[in-house]
Amino acid sequence: MTNLAEQYRVTQEPFYQPQANEVALYEAAYNARLPVMVKGPTGCGKSRFIEYMAFKLGKPLITVACNEDMTASDLVGRYLLEANGTRWLDGPLATAARIGAICYLDEIVEARQDTTVVIHPLTDHRRQLPLDKKGELIQAHPDFQLVISYNPGYQSLMKDLKQSTKQRFVGFDFDYPAADLEASIIATETGVNKADAVRLVKVGAAARALKGHGLDEGISTRLLVYAATLIQAEVNPLDACRMALVRPITDDADIRATLDHAIDAIFA
C-alpha cells in the first residue's frame, strides 16, 4: 500500500495564493477527517487549492473527473475477465479509502445521482465503503478524506446534489480573486509583467460583468493565465486576448464585438 500511495503523492508544490483563511479552515476539516465540499465558478482555483492542500498535508491525492456516464463501478471497482479467470480491480474511491488518500471528485453534479449515493457511507461516522459485487466492506484508512467540488452557476433541477448528500459535508465558497490578488497570481504563474497582468484582470472584469447578460460564465482566472502565457511567448496581446479570452467562451457575434472592443480599449 505504501508504494501505491507514493504514486499519488503530489511531489511538487503547486502555486496557490490564499484569498482568506481557507488554508487554516481546510486543515481543521482534515484534522477532524470531515468531508469537504468546494463550490465556485469555473477556473477560479478549486482544483489547485485541493492539490496545494494535499501537498501541504503530505497526503496522496486521487482525482476523479466526474461525468454523466460514470457508474458506481467506475468509482468503487469491478471484476475484469482475464485468460485465467476474473480479477477484481479497485476503483479510485476504493483505492483512496484503502491507502489513506484524499479522494477528490471534481464536478460531482455531473455524475448520476444513483452513482453519488455510494459515497454516503464514507461521509459519516461509519467511514466504510461496501463492495457489494465482491462481498467486502472496506473500513477507510484513518488518513482518508473525501472532497467534492462543483459550480453552483450550472445547477439545475436535473443537475444538483440531493440535500441528503450536501448535508454530509462542510463547505467552502470560492470566487475569482480580488483584482490586485488576481493580477499578482497571473504575474507569478506566468512571468508576464505586472502592467499586462493588471490589463488582463480588467478584461476579465469586463467579461464577468456580462454574466447573465449574454454570457453564461465570465472569463476565469485560468483563461487569464492562458492569455498571459501567450503574451509571455511574444504573441501580440490583442491576439492573445481574443484567442484565450473571447473565442473559447462565446460564439455570439455581439458579445464577441463587445469584448473585442474592451480589449482594444484596455490594451491601447
Q: Are 32 and 162 members of one domain?
A: yes
Q: How far is CA 186 from CA 14, 114, 225, in A?
A: 14, 40, 6
Q: Are 163 and 234 members of one domain?
A: no
Count of domains for the chain: 2
Q: Are 211 and 104 members of one domain?
A: no
Q: Are 204 and 75 members of one domain?
A: no
Q: 227 exposed, middle or buried (CB, 10 Å; 0-12, 13-18, 19+)?
A: buried
What predicted TM-score, i.e. pTM, was given to this entire model?
0.91
Q: Are 200 and 122 members of one domain?
A: no
Q: Which residue has the cell 508576464?
A: 192
Q: Are 168 and 185 members of one domain?
A: no
Q: What is the CA radius of gyration of the chain?
A: 21
User: Who's near 60: CB < 8 A, 6+ residues apart?
Assistant: 5, 6, 7, 8, 9, 10, 54, 96, 99, 100, 101, 102
Q: 100 exposed, middle or buried (CB, 10 Å; 0-12, 13-18, 19+)?
A: middle
Largest CA distance in the chain: 69
Q: Which residue has the cell 472592443?
A: 261
Q: Are 184 and 164 members of one domain?
A: no
Q: Are 152 and 202 members of one domain?
A: no
Instruction: Report pLDDT for 113.
Output: 77
Q: Are 120 and 248 members of one domain?
A: no
User: Who's near 198: CB < 8 A, 6+ residues apart?
Assistant: 179, 183
CA-CA distance, 113 to 162, in Å (whole number)?
A: 8
Provide the sign of the torsion angle of the four alpha carbons 247, 209, 222, 46, taken in this order: negative
DSSP reduced 3-state for 94: helix
State which residues form the domain around 227: 179-267
Helices (H), the chain: 2-7, 22-31, 46-57, 72-76, 92-99, 113-116, 163-166, 179-190, 194-208, 221-232, 237-241, 253-267
The last residue of one of the domains, among 173, 200, 234, is 173
Q: Are 147 and 254 members of one domain?
A: no
The last residue of one of the domains, among 119, 143, 173, is 173
- Looking at the DSSP bridge assignments, the partners of residue 172 are 38
CA-CA distance, 54 to 13, in Å (whole number)?
A: 9
Q: 218 exposed, middle or buried (CB, 10 Å; 0-12, 13-18, 19+)?
A: buried
Each residue's pLDDT, cut to its tens digit, for the chain (268 residues) gives 668 889 999 999 999 999 999 999 999 999 999 999 999 998 999 999 999 999 999 999 999 999 989 999 999 999 999 888 899 999 999 999 999 999 999 999 888 877 888 999 999 999 999 999 999 999 999 999 999 999 886 655 456 788 889 999 999 999 999 999 999 999 999 999 999 999 999 999 999 999 888 888 889 999 999 999 999 999 999 999 999 999 999 999 999 999 999 999 999 8
The last residue of one of the domains, among 173, 191, 226, is 173
Whether residue 210 contacts residue 218, with contact meaning beta carbons closer than 8 Å, is answered with yes
Q: Are 76 and 158 members of one domain?
A: yes
Following DSSP, what letter does each residue of 49-93 receive, concatenated?
HHHHHHHHHT-BEEEEE--TT--HHHHHEEEEEETTEEEEEE-HH
114 alpha-carbon distance from chain centroid:
22
Q: Which residue has the cell 473559447?
A: 248
Q: Are 132 and 257 members of one domain?
A: no
